[in-house]
Amino acid sequence: MARFRFRLETSLRLAKKALEAAQREFAQEEQRWQVCVRACALQQERFNEAEVGQRDAGRHRPEELGNWQIFASEQWRRLRQCEVEQREQQSIMEDARRLLLETHREVEKFRRLKEKQAKAFQWSELQKEQKLLDETGQILYWRQEKSIKS
């Protein structure tokens, strides 16, 4: 019986390698995004502390109020910058996710095509085998008929 050989096996292997690379890229971008999220949360805490310090200075230590206002505005600026970086990283991560989905679809397309062709090949081989068995049966029947008539 002949062996099935998928002609696009190389393309399937390349698609799998591209999928692995896309998975690694997405994982890295997601880690970077998580770092940005944690950094923003930390910066938000710093800004909140600066606001509390500013409020306390306004109530109890007016001579420190100017310093606290400068500190709070700097923390606000850093928080906004952190949020911008987080949005940019989220956009990069979404692009990596789209690429990952596209490469996954490509691999699935080749995998389904391979399965379909393998089934068609197997069906074809079974039909050939059945045809051979039928011919063998006919030959045996004719020989048996010949030997009975002789």
pLDDT in tens, 70-108: 999 999 999 999 999 999 999 999 999 999 999 999 999
Give the pLDDT confidence score for residue 146 in this predicted structure: 79
Percent of the chain with pLDDT over 90: 77
CA distance linking residue 143 with residue 137, whole number of Å: 10
Give the pLDDT confidence score for residue 79 in this predicted structure: 96
- Cα angle 26, 94, 86; round to 5: 95
Contact (Cβ atoms closer than 8 angstroms) between residue 26 and residue 97:
yes
Three-state DSSP at 4 gives coil
Identify the band that residue 150 occupies on the pLDDT scale cut at 50, 70 and 90. low
CA distance linking residue 6 with residue 93, whole number of Å: 35
Identify the band that residue 23 occupies on the pLDDT scale cut at 50, 70 and 90. very high
| Mean of pLDDT over the chain | 93
Give the pLDDT confidence score for residue 140 in this predicted structure: 84
Give the pLDDT confidence score for residue 145 in this predicted structure: 82
pLDDT at 1 over 70: no
Which tokens sit at 2? Answer: 């002949």
Give the pLDDT confidence score for residue 147 in this predicted structure: 80
Give the pLDDT confidence score for residue 54 in this predicted structure: 92
pTM: 0.74
